[in-house]
Structure 1
Amino acid sequence: MEWLAELAVELVGEFLLALVLEFGGRALLAPFRAEPSPWVSCSGYLLLGALLGGLSLWLVPHQLVQQPSLRVLNLLLTPFAVGATMGWMGQWRAKRGLRVLRMDRFAYGYLMALSLGLVRYCWAS
């Protein structure tokens, strides 16, 4: 019975990987274009966060917060903190006449941090 679960996970994993490579390739490059669609940019930042989460798992494969309730709290609060920081950076850049990137907004910073945190939450040992 265990082999059936492994097969299902492998099939779903391969399908998701193909989908990510097809859609994600375009979405990952979209935030760096002049004026991409906000939906495509959101997808790009979600993918970027997931990729950074995977990279962080490679570098630090264990959970940094061990207690389950604190892990959930961390998953809920950290993206808000990152989003707020990115929003503040956008305001700071705008006041100085610097170019404000999409990443310099709360929503995009939040999405990237949330996807990074979800990858770590789900797959860190």
Structure 2
Amino acid sequence: MEFLFELLFQFFGELLLQFLVEVGFEQGLRWLGRVLRWVPTPPIAAAWVTLGGVAAGGFSLLVMPHSAIHDPALRLVNLLGTPVLSGAAMTLIGRLRVRKGQSLVRLDRFGYAFLFAFTMALMRYNWAA
């Protein structure tokens, strides 16, 4: 039972880290969209989201240099599973925004949110001790 609790806590910690960073990045994109009034094309948006994920992953390594998950096999599961969950959560936030009549940014869609979370997770997978 203790092992299961520890395992869930490790995954939840990584998921929470990614989700909070992604929500912060989404708020930054929302602010930037209001200031610049520029809507990038999908390939340019994907490139910016990828670079944002890499930057967020690098920054998260400065803040939290050690991975919460120590088992290499579980870290691989985290690399694939956490971005899916984070992307799904951002999609739900996007649906809530639509119901409230708010405009969406690209990160409110699953593909872009997954791309951001995956590149951030990949940075942490490769370089977190």
What is the root-mean-square deviation in Å for CA atoms of aligned residues?
1.5
Q: Which amino acid aligns with 2:102?
A: L
What is the distance in 1 between the residues matched to 2:98 and 2:88? 15
Q: Using structure 2 for the length normalisation, give the TM-score.
A: 0.70
Asked which structure has the greater RCO (Cα within 8 Å, sep 6+), the reply is 2
Q: Which amino acid aligns with 1:124?
A: A
User: Mind listing any 5+ residue stretches in structure 1 that lack a counterpart?
Assistant: 1-28
Q: Which deviations, in whole Å up to 9, do the C-alpha atoms of 1:97-120 show, x marking residues without a partner?
A: 011111111011100000000000
Q: Does 1:52 align with 2:53?
A: no
Structure 2 equivalent of residue 41 of structure 1: 45
Identity %: 40
Counterparts of 1:17-96 in structure 2 under 5 Å? 32=33, 34-96=38-100
How many residues in Structure 1 have an aligned counterpart in Structure 2?
96
Q: Which amino acid aligns with 2:56?
A: L
Aligned to 1:100, what secondary structure does the other structure show? coil
Higher radius of gyration, 1 or 2: 1
1:99 to 91, 103, 125: 103
User: Mind listing any 5+ residue stretches in structure 2 that lack a counterpart?
Assistant: 1-28
Structure 1 equivalent of residue 10 of structure 2: none
Return the offset for 1:96: 1.1
